Amino acid sequence: MRIPLLALAVAAFGIGTSEFIIMGLLPNLASSFHVSIPRAGMLVSGYALSVTIGSPIVAVAIARLERKTALLLLMGIFTLGNLACAVAPTYGLLFSARILTALCHGAFFGTGSIVAADLVPRKQRAQAIALMFSGLTLANVLGVPAGTALGQAFGWRASFWAIVPIGLIASAFLFWLLPRQPAGDNSLIHEFRILRRPQVLLVLAMSTLASASLFCVFTYIAPMLETVTGISPHAVTIVLLLFGIGITGGNFLGGWLSDWRQMPSIIGTLVVLLFVLLSLYSAEHFVIPAVGIILFWGFVQFAAGSPLQARIVEQAHGAANLASTLNQGAFNLGNALGASIGGVMLSIGFGYRSLPLASAVVAVLALLLALWSFRLDRHESATRELASLAAGEY
């Protein structure tokens, strides 16, 4: 069953490279289209909002398709979107092409998470999801640094041209390696009823805030490192590589921890994340400490991703397909929210150095929601135990 999971990971690699490569190319794009850095950052926000708004719509549109067919269709949209990015002559057309690319993102990871979870025993679901998402994290180790270097050497369009064959290869892998799975048979009304469950809403909120905490800083990581830390544009590529190594390790650790103890691992990760962001604020002016903290930041940040995705599948039993897609929308809503928070702070006069503090505030909010969710877990468990004892007495 590992081979089909690897096919999903290859597809996730392509999508992750396309999503995150904008961060390394932000100064190049701003210069090419003669716009400000915050305006260029809207390419991140627009992509994320398109995933957030479009994912449920796309999920409904493909709900009756066999899941392998749905994934192949989504990869086709992804490939066409990146081709449009590569040839876009204006900022507005590039923005539109990014929205087209984003349409497949949330639905792909949402459907792919269900497929991955169904391929393994129940106690290995989080690790299976983590293996699929390893493609997303490896995109930050290999795809984003390589794409950034390619864009700096030959222009940002070359980066998007390089993603097109990745989409074609991923489609071939999905076609040959992925087994067929039946489509969901729930009605649309039944699927959306999961939004009445408090635990489902809490997972969506935690995913949004965790992602916002990341993207408040990560969207502007290139100009922040260049202006505050004093790192050259070419050295930024190395830092992005280290960040990618960190998130890859954190992703696998998060999957293992989630299969062990889900909510305690999420809470512990958010506590450590808070201290890491405060440390980054203190160390931004010093190259070696800042780079080391960024490596560890990526590790801690992504240790929460797989547990949150596994938790939404668990809490939304009976309607996991829509819930899993909505959670991807929540992650990307956080991307847009974080990028917007950072952009607003820069626009009103705060410097790049203040961004980790804003991220820390968002992380505190996510931690409070995690503690609330954990308390509900314990209350529900106690209620079930009392009901079981009462049933035994009669």
Domains present along the chain, CATH in parentheses: 2-180+194-377 (1.20.1250.20)
Q: What per-residue confidence (pLDDT) applies to 190?
A: 65
pLDDT average, residue stretch 24-30? 84
Q: What per-residue confidence (pLDDT) applies to 183?
A: 66
- Locate 352 and state its tokens: 């790049």
The model's pTM is 0.79
- The Cα–Cα gap between 71 and 253 comes to 27
Q: What per-residue confidence (pLDDT) applies to 74?
A: 93
Confidence of residue 241 (pLDDT cuts 50, 70, 90): confident
Q: What per-residue confidence (pLDDT) applies to 192?
A: 73
Higher pLDDT pick, 278 / 107: 278
What Cα–Cα distance (Å) separates residue 208 from each residue in 48, 175, 333?
11, 32, 6
pLDDT average, residue stretch 367-389? 83
Cα atoms in the Cβ-side hemisphere of radius 13 Å centred on 25: 29
Q: What per-residue confidence (pLDDT) applies to 3?
A: 83
Length of the chain, please? 394
Model confidence pLDDT, tens digit, residues 320-344: 677 888 888 888 788 888 988 998 9
pLDDT average, residue stretch 1-25? 86
Q: Is the confidence at residue 49, as pLDDT, over 60? A: yes
Model confidence pLDDT, tens digit, residues 59-110: 878 877 888 899 999 999 999 999 999 999 999 999 999 998 888 888 898 8
Q: What per-residue confidence (pLDDT) applies to 13?
A: 94
Find which of 52-56, 206-210, 375-379 is predicted with most confidence, using mean pLDDT: 206-210
Confidence of residue 318 (pLDDT cuts 50, 70, 90): low
Q: What per-residue confidence (pLDDT) applies to 219?
A: 83
Matching residue, tokens 């308390």: 375
Q: What per-residue confidence (pLDDT) applies to 174?
A: 92
Q: Which of 98, 166, 175, 165 is nearest to 136 (CA)?
A: 166
Q: What per-residue confidence (pLDDT) applies to 120?
A: 83
Confidence of residue 393 (pLDDT cuts 50, 70, 90): low
Q: What per-residue confidence (pLDDT) applies to 53?
A: 85
Q: What per-residue confidence (pLDDT) applies to 270?
A: 95
- The Cα–Cα gap between 121 and 231 comes to 46
Per-chain mean pLDDT for the chain:
86
Model confidence pLDDT, tens digit, residues 190-217: 667 777 888 999 999 999 999 999 989 9
